[in-house]
Structure 1
Amino acid sequence: DNSSFAKGAAQAPAKIRPELFSDAYSMWSETGFDLTDRLVDHGDIDFSAAGDPWELIKREVGRVLECGDPLISLGGDHAISWPVLRAVRRRHPSLPIVHIDAHPDIYHAYDDNPRSHTS
Structure 2
Amino acid sequence: MIKKILALLLSLMLAMPSVAGAKGVYIAGATQGDDSGTSCATAHDESWFSAQDNWGTDAADMTPGDTIYFCDDAGPIDGQLIVRATGTSDALYYFAPAFGDAPVLSYSATQGFLFG
Taking structure 2 as the reference length, what is the TM-score of the superposition?
A: 0.28
RCO greater where, 1 or 2, for CA within 8 Å and sep 6 or more? 1
More helix by share: 1
More strand by share: 2
